[in-house]
Structure 1
Amino acid sequence: MEYAPSAAQRPAGTSGDAGRDVLLHARGIVKRYGRRRVLDGVDLAVRSGEVAAVVGSNGAGKSTLLKICAGLVRPDKGRVTVAGRLGYCPQDAGVMDFLTPREHFTLFGAGAAMSRPDADRRGRELAARLDWPVARTTLAKDLSGGTRQKLNVVLSALADPEVLLLDEPYQGFDRGSYVDFWQNVWRWREEGRAVVVVTHLLHQLDQVDHVLDLTPATRGARR
């Protein structure tokens, strides 16, 4: 099920599709694992300055769809096109235990052709938006689960990507950090990025531009 809020429901700063480019377009995505078809002809288009939520029951293929959009998993059928740089935050913290967060900033920044000072500055700036003062010497393995996930969110946005794919990125967040996270989502939308968030917290759905429901009983229906 995919739907978009009415004009009255759209969050401030959104004004329809006119003049905004599609930055992420997944068309006819099919993925099977053995005899089980996880995704069956899924479509998703997200424009500049839009936030899309992906919801669904456990095993509905939410994480698989994001991995396909990120280029980490190959679909059996279908095509994904991305305009610009892409940032991906996995559901499970994929950080390296024996590096500090600031060493992560340097490493990931180098992959995006950022200088070491720029990557470190940008990483600490993004961390501050999540109310996380980054210690210089603390190793990733010694971070709490919520702080490790904050590190993942920071790394996904480090190189200012045009497309952000966030797979339940707030795991382990307290209430304040959860609010800070969504404030960042609204900021990214205002900056013209395309943001996709896998979520099971349905009370946020009236604040996004599109919802894609992968629950098998509703998949393919529109309203």
Structure 2
Amino acid sequence: MTWPMRFQAELVRLGVPEPRARRLTEDTSAQAAENATDPADLFGPPHLYARHLLAELAVPAVTERHPAGPVLLSLAGVGKRFRRRAVFHNINLTVRGGEVAAVVGANGCGKSTLLRICAGLTRPDSGEVRRTRRVGYVPQDGGTAGWLTADEHFTLFGAAAGVVPRRARSTGAHLAARLAWRPEPDQRAQQLSGGTRQKLNLVLGELHAPDLLLLDEPYQGFDQGTYVDFWRQVHAWRDAGRAVVVVTHLLHDLTNVDHVLDLGER
């Protein structure tokens, strides 16, 4: 019996309805495939990971915290077309400080395009976008220069935000430590693994302490421990009054958010 089959069987044995167990298994298998890693190497024994996942899902998504703050992102009737084809239309979303929103949907439905519109990097063809001035954007691919070290990235991105080099480097090292990563002084970005390079992207997105964070599947290449650390950090941003919008395709991520925008339903 394969790892996914044993994982699904364990979920059912633990009381998960079969349709949901099947979706969680497909979701988990897709994550392993994206990392080009065997599920056993990424998640460990299927019976233990099934229990771990159910324990995470049992935690209330929204714990007692301060009331939501001011609106930091607002989309009203937003639409986008490519070559006369509507990618999406009439998108409405409001995210306040202290809230997390997830954007979900099938591949090709425009999730990354919508996030770029939120960041001001792509213009919508219709509707209105309002956002706070301080925005951090973490793309799914790219965002780093292969020939620069992590410290050089921190210095460069810090300079763009008006942060002096020494403070930018110390802040970058502190944020990296939250993701269990200590950058090597002479290691260039092109020498980093995919998961570590994505950690660098996350640090750069937060380096200037933005009020709104826009994250496009930011956990690509993460192992399970780093994935959990990532969501802890998202909760810390939320508790600090920041707004977070994260593009995801993982079903169990939706227990961690306040709003879900499903582009696949349009």
Normalised to the residue count of structure 2, the TM-score between the two structures is 0.76
Contact 1:93/1:148 (8 A) holds in 2: no
Report what 1:63 is aligned to.
112
Q: Which moved more, 1:189-198 or 1:73-82?
A: 73-82
**Shift, 1:12, TM fit:** 1.1
Contact 2:67/2:98 (8 A) holds in 1: no
Structure 1 residues 98-129: Cα deviation after superposition (integer angstroms, max 9, x where no partner)? 10011000000000000111111110111000
Compared CA separation, residues 115 and 15, structure 1 to 2 (3 A): closer
Report what 2:262 is aligned to.
213
SS at structure 2 position matched to 1:205:
helix
Structure 1 residues 61-93: Cα deviation after superposition (integer angstroms, max 9, x where no partner)? 110000001111111111111123000000113
SS at structure 1 position matched to 2:246:
strand
Aligned amino acid, residue 65 of structure 1? L
% identical aligned pairs: 58
The match for 2:194 among 145, 153, 174 is 145
Specify every segment of 5 or more residues in structure 2 that has no aligned partner in the other structure, as ranges. Answer: 1-58
Report what 1:45 is aligned to.
94
Structure having the higher helix fraction is: 2
SS at structure 1 position matched to 2:230:
helix
**Shift, 1:13, TM fit:** 3.8
Size of the alignment, in residue pairs? 208
CA RMSD of aligned residues (A): 1.4
Aligned amino acid, residue 80 of structure 2? K
**Shift, 1:166, TM fit:** 0.1
Inter-partner Cα distance in structure 1 for 2:99 and 2:125: 27
The match for 1:197 among 246, 259, 263 is 246
Kindly name which structure, 1 or 2, has the bigger radius of gyration based on alpha carbons: 2
The match for 2:63 among 2, 12, 16 is 12
The match for 2:70 among 18, 21, 25 is 21
Structure having the higher strand fraction is: 1
Query: Whose relative contact order is higher, 1 or 2, with alpha carbons under 8 Å and at least 6 apart?
Result: 1
Residue 79 in structure 1 maps to residue 128 in structure 2: yes
Contact 2:101/2:260 (8 A) holds in 1: yes
The match for 2:215 among 148, 155, 166 is 166
The match for 2:184 among 112, 119, 135 is 135
